[in-house]
Amino acid sequence: MSGWARKRFWKEVAVCTVEGGYSVALDGRAVRTPAKAPLVVPTRALAQMLAEEWRAQGDTLQPEAMPATRAANAAIDKVRGQMGEVTELLAAYGDSDLVCYRAEAPQALVEREARAWDPLLDWAAHRYGHRPVARVGVMHAPQPKPLLDSLQADIERLNSFELTAFHDLVAMSGSLIIGLAVLDRYAGPAELWQASRIDEDWQIAQWGEDEEAAALAEGRRASFLNAARFYFALQPGVARLGSSTG
C-alpha cells in the first residue's frame, strides 16, 4: 500500500453496487487499488468488511490495520495476473506437508502430534480418496500422485480473491492440508491454527518463550485468522470447496 495518502481525507464511507460486484466509496468517490485499478470485490459482505476498515481509520491512515483491504488489493493487482504461478506454489506444499512429518521422540510430543494431525489425515483421505502418508523424521518422501493431483484441483477452483486468502492460510500454517481444512470448514480457524503450532508450542513449554519469536508468531496467527475471515466473506452462505464466487 505504498504511495497511499497518509492523512485521512474523507468523512463518509459507503458500500456501492458497481459493474462486476461491489465497491467502497469515500465521500462518493470509488476507492482504487495502489495500481489504480477499481477496487471491486465479488460480495457485499466483503465490501462491507473493507468499508469498516476505512471507517475505523483515525486522522492518519494505518494500512497495517486494514488486512482485508490489503488482501483485496493484492487479489486485484497481483494474484489475478499470476493465478497459475500462485497455484503451483501452494500445491507444492502438498508434497511436504507439515502434518505428514512426525517427531521420533519424545513420546509425549509424538502422541500430541498424532492427536492433532491424524484426524486431519483422516479428513483428507475421506475427501480426496487417498490418505496422506505420515512419516517419522524430516527426510522427504513423495506423496501419492493421485492425492497431489486432487489437492491441486481444489486449489485451481479458487478465484483470485479466494486464492489470495488461501495463500496466507497455507503460508502462515505451513500446511496445505490445514489450509484446505479451513476452506472446507472441517474445524474453526482458531483450532486449525493451533494444530499448526504443535511443535512450536511444545518447544515453548520445554524451554520458555522468546519475546521476538512470540511477536512473530502472533503476527502469523493474526494473518491466518484474517485470511479465514476474508475467505468466508467471499462465500454467499455456508459454502464448501468446489464453489466459486466469480
Work out how many domains the chain is built from and give that number: 2
The parent domain of residue 167 ranges over: 82-233
Same domain for 71 and 86? no
Structure-block grid coordinates of residue 119 = 484426524
* pLDDT 10s digits, 151-161: 999 999 999 99
Domain annotation covers residue 1: no
Same domain for 170 and 156? yes
Nearest residue to 177 (alpha-carbon basis) of 150, 142, 216: 150
Domain annotation covers residue 216: yes
For 55, the 3-state DSSP assignment is helix
Residue 84 has pLDDT above 80, yes or no: yes
Report DSSP letters for 143-196, one per residue. PPHHHHHHHHHHHHT--HHHHHHHHHHHHHHT-HHHHHHHHTTSS-HHHHHHHH
Same domain for 139 and 189? yes
Same domain for 26 and 99? no
Length of the chain equals 246
Residue 46 has pLDDT above 90, yes or no: yes
Same domain for 130 and 213? yes
- pLDDT score for 237: 63
- pLDDT score for 9: 86
8 Å CB contact between 195 and 178: yes
Q: Which of 27, 54, 77 is the last residue of a domain?
A: 77
Domain annotation covers residue 3: no
Where are any strands of DSSP class E within 122-178?
A: 135-136
* pLDDT 10s digits, 108-129: 999 999 999 999 999 999 999 9
* pLDDT 10s digits, 8-27: 888 999 999 999 999 999 99
Same domain for 116 and 205? yes
Where are any strands of DSSP class E within the chain?
A: 13-18, 21-26, 29-30, 101-102, 135-136
pLDDT band at 61 (very low <50, low <70, confident <90, very high): confident
Q: From the CA atom positions of the chain, what is the Rg in Å? A: 20
Same domain for 113 and 17? no
Same domain for 102 and 171? yes
Domain annotation covers residue 2: no
Q: Which of 62, 77, 92 is the last residue of a domain?
A: 77
Same domain for 18 and 67? yes
Question: What's 138's domain CATH number?
Answer: 1.10.3580.10
Q: Which residue has the higher pLDDT, 83 or 210?
A: 83
- Mean pLDDT, to the nearest integer, of 95-119? 97
* Bond before 38 cis per omega within 30 degrees: no
Output DSSP code: residue 24.
E
CA-to-CA dists, residue 102 to 117, 121, 134, 145, 179, angstroms: 9, 13, 7, 21, 19
- Mean pLDDT, to the nearest integer, of 65-72? 97
Domain annotation covers residue 145: yes
Query: Quick one: which H or E segment has residue 77?
Result: helix 67-77
pLDDT band at 240 (very low <50, low <70, confident <90, very high): very low
Same domain for 138 and 56? no
Residue 60 has pLDDT above 80, yes or no: yes
Domain annotation covers residue 123: yes
pLDDT band at 243 (very low <50, low <70, confident <90, very high): very low
Residue 238 has pLDDT above 80, yes or no: no
For 142, the 3-state DSSP assignment is coil
Cα separation, 122 vs 125, in Å, equals 5
Pairing relationship of beta strands 101-102 and 135-136 according to DSSP bridges: parallel
Question: What's 73's domain CATH number?
Answer: 3.30.2180.10
Q: Which of 24, 58, 77 is the last residue of a domain?
A: 77
Residue 190 has pLDDT above 50, yes or no: yes
Domain annotation covers residue 43: yes
- pLDDT score for 118: 98
Same domain for 91 and 64? no
Same domain for 145 and 210? yes
- Mean pLDDT, to the nearest integer, of 27-54? 96
CA-to-CA dists, residue 122 to 10, 114, 115, 125, angstroms: 51, 11, 12, 5
